Amino acid sequence: MSEHPPQFSVKKLWILLLVLTAAEVIYGEIGNRNFYEQKLLLWGGLLTFAFIKGYYIFQYFMHMKYEGAIVKGNVWFTIPLVVYMMIMIWPDTASNDKLNYEIANQLDPFTGKVSTIIEGSRNMVNKEFQHMYDDYAATHPGAEVHGTGGH
Amino acid sequence: MTTTMTSYDPAVDAPKHHHPVYDYDSGPPVDRGKFAIWVFLGTEIMFFTGMIGTYIVLRAGSPEWPNPAHRLAVGITAFNTFVLICSSATVVAGLFAVQKDDMAALRKWWGLSILLGAGFVGIQAYEYVHLIDHGMTPNQDLFWSTFYLMTALHGLHVIIGVLWLAVAYVKILRGGYSSKNWVGLELAGLYWHFVDLVWVLLFTLIYLM
């Protein structure tokens, strides 16, 4: 039980949230029609609306604003954790176009050498290896070759 | 002469009161139930982060992604978002009522919250029926897979929330809460607001972006 029960105007907050939701939907509607390709403007605006609404629900409806240090400390900690997760994972995984750096050192099963894949996206990697499977299949008639396709 | 206890029979020898009574509070200066629900909500944050993260990774890695406005009825779902925000507001109004011992207002606001929550589930079910009717099933493409994954798991949270509110309502009717004892209502409310908060983000990500 809170030491100081939170007191704020539910009605005001309720109206504010409804107005923000309406504004967000209208912004999205206008954005989808007029500047759908300008993702930063469209998505940035929409996410700003969502985060403002989320902030008010979190701080007032869930009365985090009125909690003591123990609850605040435990819960706020998850926010930087989420941000950390995003920063660490998303840039690497969220776009095939960005996979044009060294992916891994891989053992070439045919030559026995370790090769480093540095080129292109995942599909490019498959193409990179394709010739090895093709070469092997050509020199070993009847062998079962598990390549990336075409056999 | 001394007596030796040869065997210890708890039924006879154990002290009557098993809970030691201290003249100070040995726990942390926070209600245990509230602490527990916040830890649980912390795990829920990570759960939804995993799902939303998966969605963003799949979407960003796709060569193209359909405009959700062309596939989904944004207007109906915007109305549904209104419904959920209203239900959050009525839960808070109920909580303020019980703190003032206004039981009639508590019953009114809490009952309304349950109706609004059930209404949200009903509208979502209506949306699902229409989408599936038009062949928009999860196996169609990545858009629908992620759409159903996120909205269905959130919908499950809403159903659990409605059940929780309903159980609390039965206890309200039996006179189980008062201005001195309302933590149970607060815990149900915290879960409910969390479900509302997640929907605010999901609505933006799935329906508007």
Which pLDDT tens digit goes with each residue over A110-140? 666 665 554 444 444 455 666 776 777 788 7
Q: Is B201 on the interface with A (CB under 8 A)?
A: yes
Give the least confident one: A19-28, A122-131, B99-108.
A122-131
Residue reference for tokens 């504004």: A23
Shared-domain flag, residues A13 and A32: yes
Tell whether the model's pLDDT for residue A51 goes beyond 80: yes
Q: What's the rounded mean pLDDT across residues A30-38?
A: 89
Whether residue B10 is contained in a domain is answered as: no
Whether residue B6 is contained in a domain is answered as: no
Shared-domain flag, residues A51 and A71: no
Give the least confident one: B93-102, B112-121, B135-144, B145-154.
B135-144
H-type alpha helices, B62-73: 68-71
H-type alpha helices, A1-151: 10-34, 39-56, 69-76, 78-93, 122-139
Whether residue A130 is contained in a domain is answered as: yes
Tell whether the model's pLDDT for residue A98 goes beyond 60: no
Whether residue B67 is contained in a domain is answered as: no
Whether residue A87 is contained in a domain is answered as: yes
Q: Which two tokens stand for residue B101?
A: 């011992």
Q: Is A5 on the interface with B (CB under 8 A)?
A: yes
Whether residue B121 is contained in a domain is answered as: yes
Shared-domain flag, residues A82 and A44: no
CATH number at residue B155: 1.20.120.80
Residues B96, A25: C-beta atoms closer than 8 Å: no
Q: What is the pLDDT of residue A6?
A: 65
Shared-domain flag, residues A11 and A48: yes
Residues A49, B204: C-beta atoms closer than 8 Å: yes
Shared-domain flag, residues A26 and A57: yes
Shared-domain flag, residues A80 and A43: no
Shared-domain flag, residues A43 and A79: no
Instruction: Domain count for chain B, please give it.
Output: 1
Q: What is the pLDDT of residue A109?
A: 64
Integer distance in angstroms from the first to the last C-alpha of chain B? 87
Instruction: Tell me the shortest Cα–Cα distance from A57 to chain B, in angstroms.
Output: 6
Whether residue B22 is contained in a domain is answered as: no
Whether residue B204 is contained in a domain is answered as: yes
Instruction: Domain count for chain A, please give it.
Output: 3
* CA separation, residue B64 to residues B56, B67, B68, B124, B146 (Å): 13, 10, 12, 27, 15
Whether residue B159 is contained in a domain is answered as: yes
Q: What's the rounded mean pLDDT across residues A77-83?
A: 84
Q: How confident is residue B201, by pLDDT bands cut at 50, 70 and 90?
A: very high
Quote the domain boundaries for residue A134: 105-139
Shared-domain flag, residues A78 and A109: no
Tell whether the model's pLDDT for residue A22 goes beyond 50: yes
Closest by Cα among A21, A13, A12 to A62: A13
User: HSE-up of B178 (CA within 13 Å, CB side)?
Assistant: 4
Tell whether the model's pLDDT for residue A142 goes beyond 80: no
Phi then psi for residue A115, to 5 deg, are -115, 150
Whether residue A132 is contained in a domain is answered as: yes
Whether residue A80 is contained in a domain is answered as: yes
Shared-domain flag, residues A117 and A76: no
Whether residue B63 is contained in a domain is answered as: no
Q: Which two tokens stand for residue B5?
A: 């206890």
Q: Which of residues 106-145 of A touch B (CB under 8 A)?
A: none
> Which amino acid appears at position B95 of this protein?
L
* CA separation, residue A129 to residues A97, A98, A120, A136, B13 (Å): 19, 20, 12, 11, 78
ipTM > 0.90, yes or no = no
Beta-carbon contacts of residue B170 (< 8 Å; ≥ 6 apart): none
Q: Which two tokens stand for residue A144?
A: 């079962």
Shared-domain flag, residues A78 and A122: no
CA dist B197 and A50 (Å) reads 9
